[in-house]
Structure 1
Amino acid sequence: MLYYAVVFLVIALIAAVFGFGGIAASAVGIAKILFVIFAVLAIASFLAGLLRRK
């Protein structure tokens, strides 16, 4: 999931360099959503691992 967030971020940066503002904005939005999903799943996995050890 983090890999795809980074891929969309790179796409956004390349699109911004070439002047495609709409595509860059969309790619940044997708990257943000994917990063938030990754962060939530990572925290949930960490907490589940801590609870399982007890």
Structure 2
Amino acid sequence: MDILDKEGVAPEAQNQTPAPQAQSQSTPQDSEEMRVANSKKMEEKRAENEKKIIPMMD
């Protein structure tokens, strides 16, 4: 069993560098598609909320 320091990390693990995280390179086209999809989703939510609110106003 390894001896842990105050932070709960084994001494030999402190010298290891973490593996680099893979970052996806989004293209402008991907960003635009995401923006359009988000806009559509938000518009659907607004319409849904309006349906809930309008009967309450009558």
Please classify the TM superposition score into its range, dividing by the shorter chain length.
0.5 to 0.7
Unmatched segments (≥5 aa) in structure 1: 1-21
What's the counterpart of residue 30 of structure 2? Answer: 26
Identity between Structure 1 and Structure 2 (%): 0
Tell me which of the two structures has the higher relative contact order, counting C-alpha pairs closer than 8 angstroms and 6 or more residues apart: 1
| Residues matched between the structures, number | 33
Which of the two has greater helix per residue?
Answer: 1
Between Structure 1 and Structure 2, whose CA radius of gyration is higher?
2
Deviations 1:1-21, CA, capped at 9 Å, x for gaps: xxxxxxxxxxxxxxxxxxxxx
Question: Post-superposition, which runs of at least 4 consecutive aligned residues in structure 1 deviate over 3 A?
Answer: none
TM-score (norm 1): 0.54
